[in-house]
Structure 1
């Protein structure tokens, strides 16, 4: 299956947010059990919402991005429109994430 979430690095974080579309960033860590558990559900959500840009940021590899976005728990999902954060969901709650996508599209 094609992975629909772009792996976003520090150097391209701002450019990834620079769109009029809703952008969802999944802040995760490889060692995080809930992150691994929800990943397939996020893949399905991304495939059902092709008008939304989904990205993922590994907090261990991109500490500057994680710090600037004030990430303190994983997974954290931040929602951006026009480079402005419009919502945040902390935790592996697919209903809250799905509702946030629908609300902010």
Structure 2
């Protein structure tokens, strides 16, 4: 499922560690979600373009605790982190232009 430099995480401890510093994009997806599959290659390309940003994929069925904690209700949902803090701005659905804007915002 993962493309480019996208890391799939199914452990809450590892999730915390990987989102604790720097710019991070978390892609909350589900294996049964069509739009998630559709945007996966684009997310992979973004992970190659923005190599200074960590890209993580979380299967909401495998990591329910984290999905619930971050109030993820639709797939895909992209939650952006900067230095351990989830940003208010998140992208719900497949708007890759909006996601790219968000990525630019957490890099500075």
Q: Same fold (TM over 0.5)?
A: yes
* Residue aligned with 1:64, SS: helix
In 1, the alpha carbon distance for the partners of 2:36 and 2:3 equals 19
- Which 4+ residue blocks in structure 1 deviate beyond 4 angstroms? none
> CA shift at 1:11, angstroms?
2.9
Deviation string, structure 1 residues 47-75 (Cα, Å, up to 9, x no partner):
00000000000001111111111100000
Give the RMSD, CA atoms, in angstroms.
1.4
* Residue aligned with 2:52, SS: coil
Q: Normalising by the residue count of structure 2, what TM-score does the alignment of the two structures yield?
A: 0.91
**Matched residue pairs, number?**
104
* Residue aligned with 1:77, SS: strand
Where structure 1 has 5 or more consecutive residues not aligned to the other structure, the ranges are none
**Residue 101 (str. 1) matches residue 103 (str. 2):** yes
In 2, the alpha carbon distance for the partners of 1:79 and 1:2 equals 18
* Residue aligned with 1:18, SS: coil
- Tell me what 1:60 maps to: 61
